Amino acid sequence: MKKITKNYKRLQVRSTKIAVLAVITFIFFMPGYIKIENTGNNMFTVLLNGTYVGTIGESSKAEECLRQARRMVAGDGEELVLIDSNLECVGEEVFWGRIDSEEDVVDNMVRVLKDNVKQTLHRSYTVKVNDYTVNLASKDEVLKLLRSSIGKYDTEGKYDVNLVLDSTRELNVLTTEVLSKAERREEEEDVQVLASAGIFKAMDEMFDGVEPAGEKDFEDYELGLVSLEFGDEIEVVESYLSEDELTPIHEAIEEVTKEQEKNQIYEVVPGDSLSKIAFENELTIEKLIEMNESIENENSTIRVGDEIIITVPEPELSVERQEEVYYEEDYEAEIIYVDNDDWYTTESKTLQEPSAGHRKVVATVSYRNNVETSREIMKEEVTYEAVPKIVERGTKIPPTYIKPISGGRLSSGFGRRSRPTKGASTYHKGIDWATPVGTAVMASSGGTVAKAGWGRGYGYVVYIDHADGRQTRYGHLSKILVSAGQTVSQGQKIALSGNTGISSGPHVHFEILINGSQVNPLKYLN
């Protein structure tokens, strides 16, 4: 009995040893657990953006798993995905422990990354026209925008837009190329000919097809739209942008094609006036004055060649085009001038009255948007000739007139007045400047002294006849320095001011006579 009990206890101890050995063996060789080695940190807890995503045996595996997870979140599309990704690996040294498979860690990372997507940036295109920019979702939208600009003028769909690399730029910047569809077909056919027949044969065929230039008849002209291009510099660049930075294509088309007021410079031409310039540019006089500091009011003088700011309706993207047009019109012949060296430039006489002619015309008209910029006549056939106007005109520069004294105060103007002193006229035929006795009096213009002496109410007076038939008079003088028949030049000292004759005080009386009648001198003084 004792022997049996002793054997049983021995078996029990052996069984326990075998069981412990089996557990230890299982721990060492079971997948997912690590061996017990004294090598430092041998198990790592991985955190992504503070969230636990798994346990691994080597810290270098964490970065590799993150790269795989980012590729899976980004997918195969063209979008650029921005994600917050803060990776942490916390290591420890253990005798045994369970680690996760790389697939499980990557899957957990994908879930965390999707929850932390910062924004998705779409592959987009930024279109720049001068200072205006717009962002569009695709190249097709860019072409749709550009085609909408030319479509307004190309109603028959003859032209198309293509995007090409800008060879003048270092970076990959696209610009536009506008070709007619016929030109594009010709280019493609030329390429095919060159490829199949050889360059020399192609050149022979090209030159054989050239006909000698000859004068065209009216029916030989194409008429209609003959060229079209954008009038502004266009740049197109690829970019990655968020959804809220993109402009819907219908809004972009409206922004680019809608006419807006833009400032332009207008150069004054003969026949212009402020009211005419304002009317032709759909402006009010008040608006024109407000835009130009040099224009004080509606009576301000403008001269040929002056530059004036005006506003014109113009879209963000302008289109320049040429059209061949046929029309018939009445026309005026250019005026023929006959110069007369004995006349002043203020004198002229019509020798022949004009009459209009009639002609048929083919012209090439250039436009910027809807504004005509030039017109070139290609063919003209006169039905009947215009008769020109013939004008005889003077070539001599007429004399000028200056104020006869320096300084002085205007004391009496031209025209009706209250009688200043007994014997004086109530209608003043000149102007008076109050000035001390002895002030120098000068010839207002060059001429010949007709009278120098006493002249009743004028007191001492000087009359000067001038080459243009006018006469000037200087009255109430204290001393005369010239004599009748003497030739004087403009600005020459002829007398001293005084208070002689019928006078209410020291002054100079000055008159200008035209055809024997006094006129207001202030209208003729320079």
Percent of the chain predicted with pLDDT > 70:
83
**Total number of domains constituting the chain:** 5
Question: How far is Cα 376 from Cα 364, in angstroms, rounded to an integer?
Answer: 5
Task: Specify whether the backbone of 491 is left (phi greater than 0), alpha (psi in -120 to 50) or beta.
Answer: left
What does the pLDDT read at residue 22? Answer: 54
The residue assigned the tokens 């006078």 is 503
Q: Do residues 185 and 96 share a domain?
A: no
Question: How far is Cα 227 from Cα 392, in angstroms, rounded to an integer?
Answer: 45
Higher pLDDT, 110 or 451: 451
21 within some domain:
no
What does the pLDDT read at residue 420? Answer: 64
Higher pLDDT, 80 or 446: 446
What is the mean predicted confidence (pLDDT) over 20-42?
54
| CATH number of the domain where residue 360 is located | 2.20.230.10
Please check the confidence at residue 327 and state whether its pLDDT lies above 60: yes
Please check the confidence at residue 3 and state whether its pLDDT lies above 90: no
pTM for this predicted structure: 0.51
What does the pLDDT read at residue 10? Answer: 57
Q: How far is CA 276 from the centre of its chain?
A: 24
Please check the confidence at residue 33 and state whether its pLDDT lies above 50: no
Please check the confidence at residue 460 and state whether its pLDDT lies above 60: yes
Please check the confidence at residue 31 and state whether its pLDDT lies above 90: no
Please check the confidence at residue 34 and state whether its pLDDT lies above 50: no
| CATH number of the domain where residue 282 is located | 3.10.350.10
Q: Do residues 104 and 133 share a domain?
A: no
When pLDDT is cut at 50, 70 and 90, the band that residue 219 belongs to is: confident
Contacts of 438 (CB under 8 A, 6+ apart): 478, 496, 497, 498
Q: Do residues 231 and 335 share a domain?
A: no
Q: Which H helix or E strand runs over 299?
A: none
Tokens found for residue 405: 């004294």
Q: Do residues 176 and 140 share a domain?
A: yes
When pLDDT is cut at 50, 70 and 90, the band that residue 1 belongs to is: very low
What is the mean predicted confidence (pLDDT) over 337-363?
94
Please check the confidence at residue 103 and state whether its pLDDT lies above 50: yes
213 within some domain:
no
Q: Do residues 161 and 69 share a domain?
A: no
Domain residue limits at 416 = 409-523
378 within some domain:
yes
- DSSP, collapsed to helix, strand or coil, labels residue 1 as coil
What does the pLDDT read at residue 180? Answer: 79
135 within some domain:
yes
Higher pLDDT, 76 or 11: 76
15 within some domain:
no
Question: How far is Cα 467 from Cα 489, in angstroms, rounded to an integer?
Answer: 12
Please check the confidence at residue 405 and state whether its pLDDT lies above 80: yes
Q: Do residues 298 and 338 share a domain?
A: no
96 within some domain:
yes
499 within some domain:
yes
Please check the confidence at residue 4 and state whether its pLDDT lies above 50: no
What does the pLDDT read at residue 285? Answer: 87
Higher pLDDT, 75 or 59: 59
What does the pLDDT read at residue 35? Answer: 47
Three-state SS string over 374-403 comes to EEEEEEEEEEECCECCEEEEEEECCCCECC
| CATH number of the domain where residue 457 is located | 2.70.70.10
Domain endpoint, select from 53, 81, 115: 115
